[in-house]
């Protein structure tokens, strides 16, 4: 799951909702720093309400991802998208269709939810404006096995760029995908990869309820 899918049920709880984004923000800001359940569980009832909320959000993210990746819908769609990617990039070396299939599934699920609920994405960004990134970073540094000085900057930049709106447009989504490819040191996707996206979008959109069933149960 990705940012919006995690946060969507929590838009009245700013720091808790922000906490659901922390594991993904860290993959960009400080890739070697990972929060595990054992790191956050001692802080779920912390006397500092911000720390407790951030810990709760991180814990929810980890639990939801664990269940999401075991669902039948995830397995089926991830494979279907992997095949689409493989066929589209068959003559390119160094690309990983399974990685891209997984990545596309999570991003296009967010895109489907945003298309259905654009006003709620506005609320999500309003919520991010209500939090203090330095407080989120400080909370994470109480839990993490080592401190980071990059998270607050990442949160501020993420909300400034309003990244999730780019998921709705194929050319902008391709740009975001290539930022990820560059970050993980894989070859950039060619411009014509954008031709895959109009076909992939409805495949994911039609099964968004199946994908989200694991977090509604």
DSSP codes of every residue in the chain: --HHHHHGGGTT-HHHHHHHHHHHHHHHH-TT----HHHHGGGTT-SSHHHHHHHHHHHHHHHHHHHHTTSHHHHHHHHHHHHHHHHHTTT-SS--HHHHHHHHHHHHHHHHHHHH-HHHHHHHHHHHHHS-HHHHHHHHHHHSSS--SSHHHHHHHHHHHTGGGGGGSHHHHHHHHHHHHHHTT-PPPPGGGGGGHHHHHHHHHTTHHHHHHHHH-
pLDDT value at residue 213 = 83
Stretches where the chain sits below pLDDT 50 are none
pLDDT value at residue 96 = 86
pLDDT value at residue 49 = 98
Domain that holds residue 15: 3-216
* Domains: count for the chain: 1
pLDDT value at residue 111 = 98
């Amino acid at each position: 799951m990705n940012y919006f899918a995690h946060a969507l049920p929590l838009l009245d709880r700013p720091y808790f909702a922000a906490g659901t984004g922390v594991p993904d923000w860290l993959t960009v800001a400080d890739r070697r720093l990972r929060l595990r359940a054992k790191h956050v569980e001692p802080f779920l009832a912390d006397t500092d309400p911000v720390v407790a909320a951030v810990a709760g959000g991180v814990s929810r993210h980890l639990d939801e991802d664990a269940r999401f990746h075991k669902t039948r819908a995830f397995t089926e769609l991830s494979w279907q998208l992997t095949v689409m990617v493989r066929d589209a990039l068959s003559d390119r070396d160094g690309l990983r269709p399974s990685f891209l299939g997984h990545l596309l599934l999570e991003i296009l699920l967010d895109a489907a939810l945003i298309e259905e609920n654009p006003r709620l994405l506005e609320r999500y960004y309003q919520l991010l404006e209500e939090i203090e990134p330095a407080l989120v970073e400080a909370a994470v540094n109480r839990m993490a096995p080592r401190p980071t000085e990059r998270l607050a900057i990442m949160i501020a930049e993420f909300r400034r760029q309003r990244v999730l709106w780019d998921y709705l447009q194929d050319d902008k989504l391709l740009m975001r995908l290539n930022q990820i490819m560059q970050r993980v040191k894989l070859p950039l996707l060619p411009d014509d990869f954008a031709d895959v996206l109009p076909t992939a979008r409805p495949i994911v959109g039609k099964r968004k309820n199946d994908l989200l069933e694991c977090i509604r149960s």
